[in-house]
Amino acid sequence: MDSLKSLSMTQAALSWVSKTGAFVPTPSTIRNSISKDPKSQFPAESGRYHLYISYACPWASRCLAFLKLKGLQKAISYTVVKPIFERTKETDQHFGWVFPSSSTEEAGAEPDHLNGAKSVRELYELGSSNYSGRYSVPVLWDKKLKIIVNNESSEIIRMLNTEFNEMAENADMDLYPSHLRARIDDVNEWVFDAINYGVYKCGFAIKQGPYDEAVTKLYNSLDKCEEIFAKQRYICGNELTEADVRLFVTLIRFDEVYSVHFKCNKKLLREYPNLFNYTKDIYQIPGISSTVNMEHIKKHYYGSHPSVNPHGIIPIGSNTNYFAPHDRDRFNN
């Protein structure tokens, strides 16, 4: 990696670090909603919306997981970016998500046939002349109005769960059911802070204190999950919910990336019997495995964070078989 590119990508990563050396994420800012109400500004219509995602990004991957679980592939199209950050414009030093120039350039990624954009940054600039936030994925795009509807994954998955049921193949699947919402919200809160973002707090900490605090909270929460899964199949009981999808996207990346790249090495996922079997269980749900591209995941993390991995070397990894048998269906008896 050339020194200028390395410096620019390092500066991008360090922009999320506070003066105390702790990782502080930047919130999403485009927060419009799609509604089943045909009179709304963004009505749920088959063929109108498009998702831009990265297989590498856990936040984008959970949107793709909902798309597959609900059976919305015919109603909502999607495009996958390349895994490693590249320069998004020749006029400045910004590096971010880009599209391949052809369908054969990067396996699993494809050009932006919808808008002809070269990068996700261009999508934001197409959709808004005064946008000043991060050029992140996922992007939920309105083909009709040619603007971004929403770039907050936690809100996108809720829309996919309920607003497109008239065109969903699995309309009866409710991943945020009313009788479990309080429990789901509670689980989401501590999983998000300690696990989903906890691994990032470990990986991007630039001082020992913030790392120690984050890694302690991370493993306390993983231990808590291990205890929960000793008693029930899913995180909120014996019913699959959005909380499981949100937890899964971090767990599936844990041994291959976070344990090495983000210094989360106190204990591997596969050393937790219940957590490991739980991850295999979720992975084997129809549609979920197609949202996991470990090649993209490893290329992105090890190749896009020179402040953490300056030479971009990708470790060989464990090549874990997540299709191996698990024992989680015992809770259905």
Active-site residue identified among 49, 55, 57, 236: 57
**Residue 264 backbone zone (phi > 0: left; psi -120 to 50: alpha; other: beta):** beta
Residue 302 appears among annotated catalytic residues: no
* Tokens encoding 332: 């259905």
Residue for token pair 């971009």: 312
Which of 287, 34, 270 lies closest to 161, judged by CA? 34
Instruction: Give the strand pairing for 49-53 and 139-142.
Output: antiparallel
CA–CA gap between residue 254 and residue 268 (Å, rounded): 7
CA–CA gap between residue 201 and residue 23 (Å, rounded): 5
Measured on CA atoms in the order 327, 329, 332, 333, is the torsion positive or negative?
Answer: negative
Which of 124, 132, 177 lies closest to 148, judged by CA? 124
CA–CA gap between residue 116 and residue 237 (Å, rounded): 44
Whole-angstrom Cα Rg for the chain? 19
Element holding 247 (H helix, E strand)? helix 242-253
Tell me how far the alpha carbon of residue 247 is from its chain's centroid.
10
Residue for token pair 């995941």: 297
CA dihedral 125, 126, 131, 132 (to 10 degrees): -20
Q: Which residues contact 319 (CB under 8 A, 6 or more apart)?
A: none
**Residue 240 backbone zone (phi > 0: left; psi -120 to 50: alpha; other: beta):** beta
- DSSP code of residue 153: H
Active-site residue identified among 200, 211, 258, 272: 200
Residue 200 appears among annotated catalytic residues: yes
Q: Which of the residues are catalytic?
A: 57, 200
